[in-house]
Structure 1
Amino acid sequence: MRLSSMLTIFLTFAAAAVVALVAANFSVKLIEDSSEISVRDALDAKGMTWAEVEANGLQVSLSGVAATEAIRFAALTTAGSVVDAARVIDDMGVAAQEALAAPKFSAEVLRNDSGLSVIGLIPSSTDREYVIARFNSLAGANDVTDLLETADYPAPDGWESALDFALTAMSSLPRAKVSVQAQSVSITAITDSAQEKAQLVQDLNRMAPDQISLTLDISAPRPVITPFTTRFQITKDGASFDACSADSEKAAKQITTAAQNAGAINSRCTVGLGVPSPRWADAVTASIDALAKLGGGSVTIADADISLVAAAGTSQSEFDKIVGELENSLPPLFALQSKLPEKQDPNAGPAEFTATLSPEGQVQLRGRVNDIALRELTTSFAKARFGSDKVYSATRVVDDLPLDWATRVLAGLEGLGQLSNGAVTVTPETLVLSGNTGNPDASTEIASLLAGKLGDSTPFDVNVTYQKKLDPVLGLPTPDECEAEVAAIVAAGKINFEPGSATIDSSALGTMDDIATVLKRCGDLRLEIQGYTDSQGREEMNLALSQSRAESVLNELRARRVVTKSFKAVGYGEESPVADNDTEAGREANRRIEFRLVRPKTASTPDETTLETAAENGDTASDTTTEESASE
């Protein structure tokens, strides 16, 4: 009985334990499910559907990959707001961040009379000290403002070449802005004249490395014309300008239109600075119209003074009428002097002084002068201007010459000195200067000179012809013309070598002399001397032989004092045959030397700049290089 009671008690306790255990497990499961559902709902409400929630007893684990560290922290905070934060287990990861892109390296250099500034971001691999030292050599250590920053990223392709070219170009750019990026350079600069601009553009294009795209924006200021002069004449040979000045393109068009209406052909005006009145074009146009009505003569406008000379034989009444109309139509400030010459006796002997300048620079002085002092002064002036060994004087002293004869003679000689060749004739009635020049503005400059020296009392004619071949800049052959000339020489006299050797055959030395003569005249061409062989022999040997032969040609040019710093010799071996290698004649043709121009590529304007653009003080014309291939 006693045993049975104890068993009953034990079973009762055992049953209670089982019930308690079942109840505990049920409670834990209920808490897990409740916590998991509540946390998941909270995360989903905030758009964090990527997060996985798993409850294990009282602990709540979060897993998944957050986009950023901030989003991961936000998920932990959200879960901690639902259950005790101590119960939250962080098993989340963060997505790997992409590697930061390399920055866009660029530098901008601004140079003017005040010094030099450089700003930009350059790779740390660039020798910054060397760059600044180059700038210091140009502007001085105290005049260089260094605003460069560096970044520890690899230098992009073409960066070092572009920067080195920019540093070299700055030596010839006293007023410029240079923008440098990988494989591209943009230059904005100001020059003192159109001739200097043309030369600078040519030099920069030749210096640019092959892989660099170069953009040029070079401006030249308008010339200062003093006195501001226009001279128009109508003769039996037609109507033309001796000089034409305008203060704007609009004014130039107005003046040339009036000249065309008066019979002139292919008129041209120099646009410059120094105009005495905003209504200059109106005064010039009215004067040309009046001269056209008279039917002949000349009109000279020097600043605000107008001198009109009608053709001899013009009706006095017609002359008075037209001159009166002109006087009343002129804008304020302008003053008119008019003259109707008398007909000259054709049987009267000439009282004149002449000076001629030959293309070789020889000067002859002939004719009449007032006195011995003027003869000596004229001879001394000519020798000082043209060279003492180039002047021959055969003048004689006579009476009855105009009082201003000396002024006319010396002014005529000064004008003659601005020509390549020509002549000046001084008579009591007029001064006539004619000849050829390489300066497109020489006619205007000479007319301004004579107007300033002679005033309104002496009429003059300036008949100057511009010839491109005499122009010190444009007269130079273009790179294409040089390439063509060299190609013609090589075609006429092939550059041969001793068999299997890089030694130039003696028969080709005359050809080398002719090539050297052309290249000296062409200046700093960017030229590639290319060597080729036939297909006989091993390819490696042919390549080496072609390289050696190209270098031999380069050395021969150096021996003839050709500037070859922009030349390079390249051997191409068997490449690019021009004939069939199966025949002797074909192989002979393939063994050759070619001269080929290397041109820079076209560039687009850089995306942005960080310094002010160089100040412009005149009309601007942009010049952009182009990429072409050239072969012979």
Structure 2
Amino acid sequence: MSISERISALVGPASFVVAGALSVGVAIFSALVIERRTVEDIGTALEADGITWVEVSANGLQVFLDGEAPDEAARFRAQTQASAIIDADRVINRLDVAAQDFSAPPRFSLDMLRNGDGIQLIGLIPAPEGDEAFAVAEAIADIAGEADVVNMIETAEMAAPDTWADALAYGLRALQTLPRSKVTVLADRVEIEAVGETREERAEFIARLQQDQPEGVQVVLDISAPRPVITPFALRFVRDETGGRFETCTADTVQTRDQIVTAGRAAGASGTIPCTIGLGVPSPSWGDAVETALAALTELGEGSVTFSDADVTLIASERTEQDHFDTVVGELGAALPDLFSLQAVLPEPETLASTGPARFTATLDPDTGARLRGRLPEGAIGASVQTFATALFGADRTDVATRSVTDLPQGWSVRVMAGLNALSELNSGQLTVEPDTLRLTGETGDQEMVSQLTRMLSEDLGQGANFQLDVSYVEALDPVASQPTDEECVASIRAIQDETKITFDPGSTEINEAAGAVLDQIAEVLPNCLHVRMEIGGHTDAQGGETMNLNLSQARADAVLNGLLARGILISNLTAQGYGESQPIADNETEDGREQNRRIEFRLLASAEVAGIAAGEDDQPRTRAGILAQGAIADWPFEVRPLPRPDVN
């Protein structure tokens, strides 16, 4: 074999070996490139989803996910993202889940439901400590009295949130104030739902709950009053040169009220439009009927429309053209829902005869009484009108200087008496009765008075009567709105005492002349503060025996209470309490200090109860539970931590 043949024999197999080696190298390199590209793609997708805690690696066709997921949901999300890029069978999930911290405090809440049957409690509250055991249970027991208490409260052995104590104290005070209520207490929020018997009671509840609201705690009040039964179910709307206005508005539902208010604004009304929601609507189509009538009145231009149950009276302006009036009335009559009946009036233009001497006026002044002038019928009918007036305003407060005539319009005495009856409902005002109209102006402290007067006059005068009301609400005359707050009452009394103290002769408990003068001033304030529970606290200096000082302070507090009673003041909201020398406000080692400590002090009863209980005069344990149970919740200055209820065997 030649050399060339031998070389050829050796080169042939070697080339196959080299080609094979190159193929294997290329395959390995390609696999590594694919692995790296896969790892990069999956890593990019995870980072885009905010998953940065996963380490991605690959080995051949398999991709491995390593790391610690914050929770099971995050672990599953990471695997899902990887499976969206490569086959899910190739994803090997080796992720761990971080251990969960179950020591975080739960969401504490307490629901308290109070009605005539008792009080029901349910919720989770922080576990209390120390001698404050059963504070909530004792406070609830005092509020419930003889009524049943269903206690389903659970506790958690965890620290209370920062504002929990304040929220709980306010919630308990609200529950004590509201006989029919649901109070939900959260750490940073107190939600209160309640019902008052009357509008006045509702206003009083809101005023009391708006006082001393805890800082950092959101208070949500939903205090309602029962819907009144309205008879007749009335509405009156007037359009004149000044625009449109409701003189009374009633609706049966919130939706109907909104429908009527919208229709009123379209008819020219502006500003706040009060509309009472009540019971007694004559038809479910009340809102549709009112909306239709207001649209018709708007088309007429000026006039009034009055609803009294299902009776509708449309009175146009005397300047309205007859053809236009007939067209609008015909369309309104056809458009009104079934049951409603329409009476339309187009007044005749005023003539000299209709504006003649037939006129009656009455003026009501809160200080001097009623003054009647003008014309009344002769004989028994005119005398009955005068008798009716003196019965309304009082014989000594009625100045009658009227003239008896025979040529008065028919029904004159009825209109006069209806007007006088309406005038008597005002604080002050003036009534004018003329042949074609009745006008009443004045002031009132009742926001619902215009609606009430409209219903009264519509019922007394009949549906076709033309009357005008211009009655203004004055907040200063409103016994509820103008009622001073608890703090204002106490501040007024303290201002009097800052000028002159109530003092007693040494060793005496008798009201002397100087103390009597101060009581005279305080007696002028107290009639406006009958809604405020106050304590008259008696205090002495430290001279003398402790028991003697306690008895002396009690006797002097009682003397002040009796002195106010002797001045005609109702004292059902006042309590006399002697504290002796236990609560000094100055140094008893100096004469000036002892003078300051000898005092009579008026303060809100809740604050007084806290001070008295804390001082320990009643020999009861000084626990927060005891103070909570005595109704001084709002003024307790420290943290309230309720304890779990006892186990029931």
TM-score (norm 1): 0.58
Q: Distance in 2 between matches of 1:523 and 1:218?
A: 23
1:482/1:342 CA distance change after superposition, 3 Å: same
User: In the alignment, is residue 555 of structure 1 matched against residue 540 of structure 2?
Assistant: no
Q: Does the residue aligned with 1:307 lie in a helix, a strand or coil?
A: strand
Task: Indicate conservation of the 8 Å contact 1:495/1:511, yes or no.
Answer: yes
- Counterpart of 1:560 in 2: which secondary structure? helix
Partner residue in 1 for 2:179: 187
Q: 1:550 to 1:492 in 2, by over 3 A?
A: farther
Counterpart residue type for residue 276 of structure 2: T
- Matches of residues 105-124 of structure 1 in structure 2 within 5 Å? none
Per-residue deviation at 1:455?
2.0
2:307 alignment counterpart: 301
Q: Give the match for residue 407 of structure 1.
A: 414
Contact 1:108 1:179 in 2 (8 A): no
Alignment partners' CA distance in 2, 1:307 and 1:582:
82
Q: 1:529 to 1:119 in 2, by over 3 A?
A: closer
CA contact (8 A) 2:536 2:561 kept: no
State the partner residue of 1:516: 523
| Alignment match, 2:342 | 336
1:248 is aligned to 253
Determine if contact 1:496/1:508 at 8 Å carries over to the other structure.
yes
Matches within 5 A, 1:53-452: 166-167=144-145, 179=149, 187-188=179-180, 193-195=198-200, 220-261=225-266, 262-316=268-322, 318-345=324-351, 348-360=355-367, 362-452=369-459
Structure 2 residue identity aligned to 1:450: L
Q: For 2:515, what is the secondary structure of its paired residue? A: helix
Distance 1:402 1:505, change over 3 A: closer
- The question of whether the paired residues in 2 share the 8 Å contact of 1:544 and 1:573 is answered with no
| Residues 547, 569 of structure 1: 8 Å contact kept | no
The CA deviation string for residues 575-619 of structure 1, in whole angstroms up to 9 with x for no partner, is 574x89999877766654432213499xxxxxxxxxxxxxxxxxx
Structure 1 or 2, whichever has the larger Rg, is: 1
Partner Cα separation in structure 2 for residue 435 and residue 160 of structure 1: 53
- Are the counterparts in 2 of residues 166 and 180 from structure 1 also a CA contact under 8 Å? no
Deviations 1:328-351 (A, max 9, x none): 443333233333334324794342
Give the drift of 1:369. Answer: 2.8
Structure 2 partner of 1:477: 484
Kindly indicate whether the alpha-carbon contact (under 8 Å) linking 1:530 and 1:569 is maintained by their aligned counterparts in 2. Answer: yes
User: Hey, what's the Cα distance between the residues in 1 that align with 2:281 and 2:633?
Assistant: 38
Given the alignment, which residue of 578, 588, 594 partners 2:601? Answer: 594
Equivalent pair of 1:530/1:572 in contact (CA under 8 Å): no
Q: 1:316, CA displacement in angstroms?
A: 4.4
Q: Deviations over 1:229-250 (max 9, x none)?
A: 1112133445322221111233
- In structure 2, the CA distance between the partners of 1:246 and 1:386, relative to structure 1 (3 Å rule), is same
**Post-superposition CA distance 1:241-289 (Å, at most 9, x none):** 2221111233223323333341333221122211111121222233333
Secondary structure, aligned partner of 1:363: strand
Structure 1 residues 403 and 349: alpha-carbon distance in aligned structure 2, compared to 1, 3 A threshold: closer
Q: Distance in 1 between matches of 2:555 and 2:562?
A: 11
Deviation at 1:401, TM superposition (A): 3.1
Q: 1:569 aligns with which of 550, 567, 577?
A: 577
Question: What secondary structure, in the 3-state scheme, does the structure 1 residue paired with 2:401 have?
Answer: strand
Q: 1:483 to 1:294 in 2, by over 3 A?
A: farther
CA distance in 2, matches of 1:586, 1:231: 67
Partner residue of 2:472? 465
CA distance in 1, matches of 2:328, 2:604: 61
Distance change >3 Å, CA 476–CA 314, structure 1 → 2: same
Question: SS of the residue aligned with 1:187?
Answer: coil
**Secondary structure, in 3 states, of the residue corresponding to 2:230?**
coil
Give the match for residue 21 of structure 1: none
Task: Return the alpha-carbon distance in structure 2 between the equivalents of residues 318 and 108 of structure 1.
Answer: 60
Secondary structure of the residue aligned to 2:560 is helix
SS in 2 for 1:418: coil
Return closer, same or farther for 1:553/1:570 CA change in 2, 3 Å cut-off. Answer: closer
Letter in 2 for 1:228: F
Indicate how the Cα distance of structure 1 residues 530 and 246 shifts in structure 2: closer, same or farther if over 3 A, else same: same
Specify the code of the residue in structure 2 equivalent to 1:560: L
Conserved in 2, the CA contact under 8 Å of 1:558 and 1:564?
no
In structure 2, distance between residues paired with 1:414 and 1:504: 47
- SS of 1:494's partner is coil
Structure 1's 625 and 260: CA in aligned 2 closer, same or farther, altered over 3 A? farther
CA apart distance, 1:375: 0.2
5+ residue gaps in structure 2? 1-111, 121-132, 154-171, 182-194, 211-220, 609-630, 638-649
Report deviation, 1:459.
1.0
Shift of 1:509: 2.4
Q: Structure 1 residues 545 and 371 mapped into 2: Cα distance closer, same or farther (>3 Å)?
A: same
**Aligned partner letter, 1:312:** E
Q: Distance in 2 between matches of 1:222 and 1:518?
A: 35
In structure 1, distance between residues paired with 2:408 and 2:633: 61
Q: Deviations over 1:4-56 (max 9, x none)?
A: xxxxxxxxxxxxxxxxxxxxxxxxxxxxxxxxxxxxxxxxxxxxxxxxxxxxx
Q: Which deviates more from structure 2 when the two are superposed, residues 429-438 or residues 540-549?
A: 540-549
Given that residues 249 and 275 in structure 2 are in contact (C-alpha distance below 8 angstroms), is that contact kept between their aligned partners in structure 1? yes
Question: 1:3 maps to what in 2?
Answer: none
Deviation at 1:511, TM superposition (A): 1.2
| Cα distance, 1:463–1:393 mapped onto 2, change above 3 Å | same
The offset of 1:298, in angstroms, is: 1.8
Contact 2:118 2:144 in 1 (8 A): no
- Structure 1 residues 506, 525: CA separation in 2 closer, same or farther (over 3 Å shift)? same
Distance (Å, rounded) in 2 between the aligned partners of 1:572 and 1:254:
65
Q: Distance in 2 between matches of 1:458 and 1:436?
A: 23
Q: Distance in 1 between matches of 2:372 and 2:270?
A: 33
RMSD: 4.7
Question: Structure 1, residues 297-328: CA drift from partner, whole Å, max 9, x if none?
Answer: 22211112222222332444554454455444
| CA 1:628–1:374: 2 relative to 1, 3 Å | farther
Cα displacement string for residues 168-206 of structure 1 (whole angstroms, at most 9, x for unaligned residues): xx8xxxxxx87587987673287764346667999999x
Count residues with an aligned counterpart.
Answer: 445
The corresponding residue for 1:454 is 461
Mark the CA change 1:323 to 1:586 in structure 2 (over 3 Å): closer, same or farther.
farther
Q: For residues 159 and 293 of structure 1, what CA distance do their matches in structure 2 show?
A: 65
Instruction: Sort the Cα spacing of 1:335 and 1:425 in 2 relative to 1 into closer, same or farther, 3 A.
Output: same
- Residue 366 and residue 180 in structure 1: after superposition, are their counterparts in 2 closer, same or farther (change >3 A)? farther
